[in-house]
């Protein structure tokens, strides 16, 4: 309390008010940075969600293409064997 011994109440309050304003500004600056980071994270998450969805679609299309190709190969092979038997 030695720091307050020779000061008036108004001076003490003024000093606290100044310190509080500085801390509020520092907080606002940090909060602004955090908001920007959060926005960037949300954008990246949306991008990753889209990418994941596209990968799943591509995977399904690839499986369907493989299935269809194998089916055609098998039917072609079977039809050739049937022709050989007749």
- 3-state secondary structure string, the chain? CHHHCCCCHHHHHHHHHHHHHHHHHHHHHHHHHHHHHHHHHHHHHHHHHHHHHHHHHHHHHHHHHHHHHHHHHHHHHHHHHHHHHC
Confidence at 36, pLDDT banded by 50, 70, 90: very high
For position 33, what pLDDT does the model report? 98
Residue 4 lies in a domain: no
Residue 9 lies in a domain: no
Residue 63 lies in a domain: yes
Residue 18 lies in a domain: no
- Overall domain count for the chain: 1
Quote the pTM value.
0.57
Residue 13 lies in a domain: no
For position 7, what pLDDT does the model report? 80
Residue 64 lies in a domain: yes
What residues make up the domain containing 41? 25-85
Residue 7 lies in a domain: no
Residue 15 lies in a domain: no
């Amino acid at each position: 309390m030695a720091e307050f011994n020779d000061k008036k109440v108004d001076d003490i309050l003024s000093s606290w008010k100044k310190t509080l304003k500085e801390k509020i500004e520092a907080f606002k600056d940090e909060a602004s940075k955090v908001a920007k980071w959060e926005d960037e994270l949300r954008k990246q998450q949306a991008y990753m969600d889209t990418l994941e969805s596209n990968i799943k679609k591509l995977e399904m299309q690839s499986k369907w293409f493989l299935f269809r190709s194998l089916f055609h190969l098998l039917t072609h092979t079977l039809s050739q064997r049937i022709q050989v038997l007749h």
